[in-house]
A = this chain, B = another copy of it.
Amino acid sequence: MANGPQFQPVQPVRAYQRIVEQVEEALVRGDLAPGQRLPSERELVTQFAVSRSTVREALRVLESNGVVRSRPGDPNGPEILPFSSTALRKQIVRLARVDELTLAELIAFRMIMDGAAIQVASRLRTPEQLAELEGTLVAMRAAIDVDFAAFSEADLTFHDVIARIARNSLIETCNEVVRGVVLTLISDKIAHASNSRALMLESLQHHAEVVDAIRSGDGHAAARIARQNMYDYYAGYVPEDERGALRALTD
Contact = CB atoms under 8 A, between A and B. Distances in A.
Interface of A: 12, 16, 27-28, 53, 56-57, 60-61, 64-65, 72, 83, 85, 87-88, 90-92, 94-95, 97-98, 100-101, 105-106, 108-109, 112-113, 116, 119-120, 122-124, 166-171, 173-174, 178, 219-220, 244-245, 247-249, 251
How many copies of this kind of chain does the complex include? 2
Contacts of A119: 248-249, 251
A78 to B, nearest CB: 14
A169 B108 CA distance: 11
Nearest to A56: B57
Given A65-B94, A244-B123, A60 B16 contact: yes
A30 to B, nearest CB: 10
Given A106-B170, A168-B109, A251-B220, A87 B83 contact: no
A28 to B, nearest CB: 5
A241 to B, nearest CB: 11
A249 B116 contact: yes
A90 B106 contact: no
B245 A168 contact: yes
Contacts of A106: 170
Given A61-B64, A169-B100, A174-B174, A124 B248 contact: yes
Nearest to A242: B167
A116 B171 CA distance: 14
Given A83-B98, A83-B100, A120 B108 contact: yes
A222 B151 CA distance: 38
A91 B87 contact: yes
A62 B169 CA distance: 28
A179 to B, nearest CB: 13
Contacts of A244: 123-124
A97 B28 contact: yes
A119 B245 CA distance: 9
Which 10 A/B pairs are nearest by Cβ-Cβ distance?
A123-B248, A112-B116, A88-B91, A61-B64, A120-B248, A57-B60, A83-B98, A105-B168, A120-B245, A105-B170
Contacts of A64: 61, 64-65
A244 B119 CA distance: 12
Given A248-B119, A248-B219, A88 B98 contact: no
